[in-house]
Amino acid sequence: MNSLMTHPNPRQKFVLQGIALVILGAVFFPVWNVLKKTHVSDVPISSVARVPDPLSNLFNDLYFFLSISFLAILLGVTCAFYLQEWLPETNWVRRLVENQVSILSGIPSLLYGLLAVLIFLPYSGVIQKIETVSSDGNVGAASLKATVFQGDTTLFYAMLLTFVILVMPRVIKTTQAALRSVPMPIRESAYALGASRSQVLMKHVVPIAFPLILAGGCRAMSCAFATAALFIGVCIWSHAPQSGQMTGGFVLFLGGSLILSILSSFLIERYSPVPTRNT
Amino acid sequence: MSIMKTTEKQPILGIHNLNVWYGDRQILRSLSFGVEQRRVTAFIGPANSGKSTLVRCLNRLNDFTPNFTFTGEVFFKGNSLYATKDADTVRKQIGMVFRKPTLFRGSIHENVAYGAQISGVTQSAALNASVERNLLRTGLWDLVKDILDDTPEQLPTGQQQLLCVARALAVEPEVLIFDEPCGELDPIETVKIETLVRELTDDCTVIFATNKRRQAARVSDVAGFLYGGELIEFGATEKIFTNPEDNRTEQYVTGRLG
């Protein structure tokens, strides 16, 4: 790691943030163009968004959100345990995964939302399913739920995929930091008594690391909430005039959430409790 | 304390031509010696002479050190220590007490009972008996019998270290390794540990690494002088401290080296 990255002075920091903004803009504007060219009828969420009862829709979303983020966090924690406790530090798989994780966890969560709307949902075949249901005149959260749970799990997998990519890197990063924070003498003393690896893990490592793992999960969940901002934006869009024009409110919302997202990603990186590895 | 009587006995730990590397750095250079049963064997030497590395090799604690490589053989009761895959059983038989007292979460009772649980005791009556026996043995029982359910962090450092010894004894090891156990203690607490170490030889073999020459002279039956990763001299403590063969050993024990 060079000196520019480890101790940036204010001017270098300004330049770095400028570069980050330019990169974000370069990523965002092509996506923006795709969004502008897309007709409202093509937008996958629109039929779901026209649900008559907003409250039941909200609870349905929360239900999905909690169950799927629980799964994603569980996967992330398991993965971090495997990397940190079983693989030696010199293992190439571990180094590869750790590098990818640190890259992925730095990306603003808003971009994951765009990924979900533009790639996962259209290609997962959910739209056809929803349209089939809605042609019966039976639109709504209940019917969507019925579609998902009566043997058809595509929407579930699309959401899971998005959440896994969004939440897992952050969970892996914080869980690894939590496991590293368990004092080495505690581990060594337990091993010296003759405790097996699983006994050390269950009796000493997990109880000490658990609060930090939980905090990491919460942090990852809040990043997921930031992504939800995008879906709200899409919902507003779906209520836009049929000509496909952007409403002023929506542009304001999307711009605002983009700025907020960039800001939050800088803040999260700046004030993160995760110590960066100097290897 | 004559060493001559016991030389015919099979040593409980036999080390043959042990070389140890951490990465490219060689820490120990072709060590060979035998540790006799129910004796205190001390290793003296200045800092970075390889004492800790050596004693950590004897209960396979170095297995967790990255880049650890070794050649040679370590025999425990005639069997190769590193041939078995079951390192946990090895560490149950060869316990260790560290320089700094490390307390586990939970009460004083739970800390000592944890050692007994490791060795397979599950009944609460047997656990209580083990806790009392080992606390009595370390001389802590009268001090802590009323506060067994309290956290051990309130105890002074010396008593914390004695608690760690009690915990290690609760596993009922055959060999107990002390890695500079008095490094953090004051002289009075040090005397307690030294007295305890002498008493342990009733049913336990003790290996004692220290950089205090006089401590080794007080505690041990057999002593080895390590310098720069080499075992310069190994033999009866009396001989090492009064009539050493090697010039460097004499310089060290008289305080002119290290």
- Provide the 8-state DSSP code for A45: T
Cβ–Cβ gap A90/B92 under 8 Å: no
Amino acid at A271: Y
Cβ–Cβ gap A192/B114 under 8 Å: no
pLDDT the model gives residue B191 = 93
Q: What band does A19 get if pLDDT is binned at 50, 70 and 90?
A: confident
Cβ–Cβ gap A193/B59 under 8 Å: no
Whether A211 has a pLDDT exceeding 50, the answer reads yes
Q: Which of A193, A200, A205, A208 to mutate to test the interface with B (most CBs of B within 10 A)?
A: A193
pLDDT the model gives residue A51 = 41
- Provide the 8-state DSSP code for B86: -
Look at residue B10 and give its three-state secondary structure. Answer: coil
Of A42, A76, A50, give the one whose Cα is nearest residue A177.
A76
Residues of B in contact with A194 (CB under 8 A): 88-93, 95, 118-119, 171, 173
Residues of B in contact with A205 (CB under 8 A): none
Q: What band does B205 get if pLDDT is binned at 50, 70 and 90?
A: very high
Measuring CA to CA, how many Å separate A214 from each of A209, A272, B141? 9, 15, 39
Residue range(s) defining the domain that contains residue B195: 4-253
Residue B37, φ and ψ in degrees, nearest 5: -70, 145
Q: Is A150 on the interface with B (CB under 8 A)?
A: no
Q: B122 vs A220, which has greater pLDDT?
A: B122
Question: In chain B, how many domains are there?
Answer: 1
Look at residue B222 and give its three-state secondary structure. Answer: strand
Tokens representing residue B246 in the block: 């090697």
Amino acid at A58: L
Whether A240 has a pLDDT exceeding 50, the answer reads no
Whether A35 has a pLDDT exceeding 70, the answer reads no
Q: Is A182 on the interface with B (CB under 8 A)?
A: no
Over residues A169-207, the pLDDT tens digits come to: 889 999 999 999 999 999 999 999 999 999 999 999 998
Of B111, B26, B23, B137, give the one whose Cα is nearest residue A203.
B111
pLDDT the model gives residue A269 = 59
Residue A3 lies in a domain: no
Q: Which helix (H) or strand (E) holds B72?
A: strand B68-76
Residue A240 lies in a domain: yes
Q: Is A85 on the interface with B (CB under 8 A)?
A: no
The pLDDT mean for chain A works out to: 68
Whether B92 has a pLDDT exceeding 60, the answer reads yes
Q: Are A154 and B71 in contact (CB under 8 A)?
A: no
Distance between first and last Cα of chain A: 8
Pick the range with the lowest mean pLDDT from A108-122, A202-216, B132-146, B195-209. A108-122
> Which residue among A88, A185, A196 sits closest to B102, beta carbon to beta carbon?
A185
Residue A28 lies in a domain: no
Place of tokens 């997921």: A224
Which residue of chain B is at minimal alpha-carbon distance from A197? B88
Q: Is A207 on the interface with B (CB under 8 A)?
A: yes
Over residues B22-45, the pLDDT tens digits come to: 989 999 999 999 999 999 999 999
Over residues A64-113, the pLDDT tens digits come to: 667 777 888 888 999 999 999 888 888 888 888 888 888 888 887 777 77
Cβ–Cβ gap B66/A90 under 8 Å: yes
Which residue of chain A is at minimal alpha-carbon distance from B87? A194
pLDDT the model gives residue A270 = 53
Residue A18 lies in a domain: no
> How far apart, in whole angstroms, are the C-alpha atoms of residue B258 and residue B252?
6
> How far apart, in whole angstroms, are the C-alpha atoms of residue B198 and residue B185?
18
Cβ–Cβ gap A193/B89 under 8 Å: no
Tokens representing residue A263 in the block: 């800001």
Residue B210 lies in a domain: yes
Q: What band does A3 get if pLDDT is binned at 50, 70 and 90?
A: very low
Cβ–Cβ gap A193/B114 under 8 Å: yes
How far, rounded to the nearest angstrom, does the alpha carbon of residue A68 sit from its chain's CA centroid? 11
Q: What band does A216 get if pLDDT is binned at 50, 70 and 90?
A: confident
Which residue of chain A is at minimal alpha-carbon distance from B93? A194
Q: Is A91 on the interface with B (CB under 8 A)?
A: no
Cβ–Cβ gap A190/B89 under 8 Å: no
Whether B190 has a pLDDT exceeding 90, the answer reads yes
Q: In B40-71, which positions are buried (b, 16+ CB within 10 angstroms) versus exposed (e)?
A: bbbbbbeeebbbbbbbbbbbbbbeeeeebebe
Of B113, B110, B19, B33, give the one whose Cα is nearest residue B70.
B19
Look at residue B70 and give its three-state secondary structure. Answer: strand
Q: For residue A40, count CB atoms less than 10 angstroms from its CB and return exposed for 0-12, middle for 13-18, buried for 19 or more.
A: middle
Cβ–Cβ gap B91/A192 under 8 Å: yes
Beta-carbon pairs below 8 A across chains A and B: 61
Q: Is A245 on the interface with B (CB under 8 A)?
A: no
Q: Is A137 on the interface with B (CB under 8 A)?
A: no
How much is the average pLDDT of A263-275?
A: 55
Residues of A in contact with B61 (CB under 8 A): 188, 191-192
> How far apart, in whole angstroms, are the C-alpha atoms of residue B211 and residue A72?
52
Looking up residue A200, the CATH number of its domain turns out to be 1.10.3720.10
> How far apart, in whole angstroms, are the C-alpha atoms of residue B238 and residue B221?
8
Of B205, B204, B229, give the one whose Cα is nearest residue B134.
B204
Q: Is A42 on the interface with B (CB under 8 A)?
A: no
Residues of B in contact with A196 (CB under 8 A): 88
Residue A11 lies in a domain: no
Residue B258 lies in a domain: no
Q: What band does A22 get if pLDDT is binned at 50, 70 and 90?
A: confident
Q: Are B36 and B9 in contact (CB under 8 A)?
A: yes
Rounded to the nearest 5 percent, the helix, strand and coil shares of chain A are 80, 0, 20
> How far apart, in whole angstroms, are the C-alpha atoms of residue B112 and residue B141?
12
The radius of gyration computed from the CA coordinates of chain B, to the nearest angstrom, equals: 18
Question: In chain A, how many domains are there?
Answer: 1
Pick the range with the lowest mean pLDDT from A41-50, A90-99, B64-73, B213-222. A41-50
How much is the average pLDDT of A229-250?
A: 51
> How far apart, in whole angstroms, are the C-alpha atoms of residue B216 and residue A34?
79
Cα dihedral across residues A28, A34, A40, A45: positive or negative = negative
Look at residue B209 and give its three-state secondary structure. Answer: strand
Cβ–Cβ gap B171/A194 under 8 Å: yes
pLDDT the model gives residue A13 = 66
Cα dihedral across residues A97, A101, A102, A104: positive or negative = positive
Whether A122 has a pLDDT exceeding 70, the answer reads no
Whether B14 has a pLDDT exceeding 60, the answer reads yes
Q: For residue A246, count CB atoms less than 10 angstroms from its CB and return exposed for 0-12, middle for 13-18, buried for 19 or more.
A: middle
Whether A212 has a pLDDT exceeding 70, the answer reads yes
Cβ–Cβ gap A204/B104 under 8 Å: yes
Cβ–Cβ gap A88/B66 under 8 Å: yes
pLDDT the model gives residue B124 = 94
Looking up residue B43, the CATH number of its domain turns out to be 3.40.50.300
Kindly provide the ipTM of the predicted complex, given to two decimals: 0.91
Residue range(s) defining the domain that contains residue A75: 51-270
Minimal Cα–Cα distance from A185 to chain B, Å?
7
DSSP string, B150-190: S-GGGS-HHHHHHHHHHHHHHT--SEEEEESTTTT--HHHH
Residue A42 lies in a domain: no
Cβ–Cβ gap A192/B98 under 8 Å: yes
